[in-house]
Amino acid sequence: MALVLHAGAGNKNACKALIAAEYSGVKVELVKDFQMGVSNKTPEFLKMNPLGKIPVLETPEGAIFESNAIARYGICMKSFHFISIYQPNIISYACVEQWMDFAATEIDAGLARWLYPRLGYGIPYNASMEEFAINFFKRSLDALNTHLASNTYLVGHSVTLADIVMTCNLYMGFVRIMTKAFTSAFPHVERYFWTMVNQPNFKKVMGEVKQADAVPPVPSPKKAAAPAKEAKPKEVKKETPPPAKAAAEAVEEEAPKPKAKNPLDLLPPSKMILDDWKRLYSNTKTNFREVAIKGFWDMFDPEGYSLWFCEYKYNEENTVSFVTLNKVGGFLQRMDLARKYAFGKMLIIGGTPPFKVKGLWIFRGQEIPQFVMDECYDMELYNWTKVDISDEVQKERVNAMIEDQEPFDGEPLLDAKCFK
């Protein structure tokens, strides 16, 4: 009779048990009609795992939770597989345990610190914490990469339980957040991962695995968990809904309200038409100084618009180039709400880390619009200084930023992004 595994299909922790079962020949079946957030919160389920987490394996002698323990159980039920998959001596056995612990505490935990805030799971997103999480995770991947440079499998010369656990933990990273641009720095981990997921026993459970082609965007702060002081009493009493329901509710909460007029539309008309400037900027391909920069100052209306320099407050944390670029890209996406009232240039500066992020913005009005400060949380990650256009040095800095002048502040540009 098959043992029943309580989990949804595709759960990477459940995959450990299912793949281990494929290797050992133990029959394990997924429970029917499992519903995350519902099935694992019933009194019967909580008797099996008081944490209410999946997976749980029901056996004739009682239930087991913790995916590694379940996978071990599945393997140990067939003693000859215990030998082959755990290796035949104490040191190899210890090495299998070592890599299983490494997979849990370094790979899985490290990945969760990076991925979960982006998915809006519990940990709130924070740019500097993300930087830390990625560096922590890369250190673990580096160690794994070094080991795999001279080993096909984690222990010995065939698949062990350590490979099953490690691959399932890496799986979540490869499919959700670790793009090719990220994993190419760890070629032996890549080779190992793709070799493992293409083993027939893995493939039966995981199917065709497709690597993430983009890092999930940072959730908007509105959708992320609100701080306790902002929670309304009515909402506090509500039972936490399952993720799908929570997502549906979030959409409902954001139903469009009647739009109030933007105060910037009530300002006295300006002779500067921002769209004309954006067009000129985009269409000027040669003689940029003479055409675009000159045209900018001819058009610029210092009464209707203001110019601002910004500088990222935590430049010393910009140690990973693609994370820095993503951070700036995300900022520009979130500025979409200001497209009618703003133009911006963001320079990512430096030939080696840490990269410096500096920008120039034109905003309608004499202040940074309040709705931008309120709605785009990136704004507070930067120091903002109003440009004094009577100062020729500052004016020249504006020109250099519009033009992507290189070197900038004595350093090469990693990239320059434009908001228009």
Q: What is the binding site for ligand GSH (CB under 6 A)?
A: 11, 13, 40, 52-55, 66-67
Smallest gap from residue 116 Cβ to ligand GSH (A): 10
Smallest gap from residue 23 Cβ to ligand GSH (A): 18
Q: Which is nearer to ligand GSH, 115 or 414 (CB)?
A: 115
Q: Which is nearer to ligand GSH, 177 or 272 (CB)?
A: 177
Smallest gap from residue 242 Cβ to ligand GSH (A): 9
Phi first, then psi: give them for residue 146, nearest 5 degrees. -60, -45
Smallest gap from residue 121 Cβ to ligand GSH (A): 9
Smallest gap from residue 112 Cβ to ligand GSH (A): 9
The pairing of beta strand 305-312 with beta strand 356-364: antiparallel
Q: Which is nearer to ligand GSH, 11 or 24 (CB)?
A: 11
Smallest gap from residue 104 Cβ to ligand GSH (A): 7
Q: Which is nearer to ligand GSH, 72 or 327 (CB)?
A: 72
Q: Which is nearer to ligand GSH, 11 or 145 (CB)?
A: 11
Nearest CA to 325 among 353, 344, 363? 353
Tell me if residue 87 falls in helix, strand or coil: coil
Per residue, the 3-state secondary structure of the chain, as one string, reads CCEEEECCCCCHHHHHHHHHHHHHCCCEEECCCCCCCCHHHCHHHHHHCCCCCCCEEEECCEEEECHHHHHHHHHHCCHHHHHHHHCCCHHHHHHHHHHHHHHHHHHHHHHHHHHHHHHCCCCCCCHHHHHHHHHHHHHHHHHHHHHHHCCCCCCCCCCCHHHHHHHHHHHHHHHHCCCHHHHCCCHHHHHHHHHHHCCHHHHHHHCCCCCCCCCCCCCCCCCCCCCHHHCCHHHHHCCCCCHHHHHHHHHHHCCCCCCCCCHHHHCCCCCCCHHHHHHHHHHCCCCHHHHHHHHHHHHCCCCCEEEEEEEECCHHHCCCHHHHHHHHHHHHHHHHHHHHHEEEEEEEECCCCCCEEEEEEEEECCCCCHHHHHHCHHHHHEEEEECCCCCHHHHHHHHHHHHCCCCECCECEEEEEEEC
Smallest gap from residue 276 Cβ to ligand GSH (A): 53
Q: Which is nearer to ligand GSH, 50 or 88 (CB)?
A: 50
Q: Which is nearer to ligand GSH, 54 or 307 (CB)?
A: 54
Smallest gap from residue 18 Cβ to ligand GSH (A): 13
Smallest gap from residue 168 Cβ to ligand GSH (A): 9
Q: Which is nearer to ligand GSH, 67 or 140 (CB)?
A: 67
Q: Which is nearer to ligand GSH, 10 or 25 (CB)?
A: 10
Contact of 305 with 272, CB cutoff 8 Å: yes
Q: Which is nearer to ligand GSH, 154 or 362 (CB)?
A: 154
Contact of 69 with 8, CB cutoff 8 Å: no
Smallest gap from residue 60 Cβ to ligand GSH (A): 21
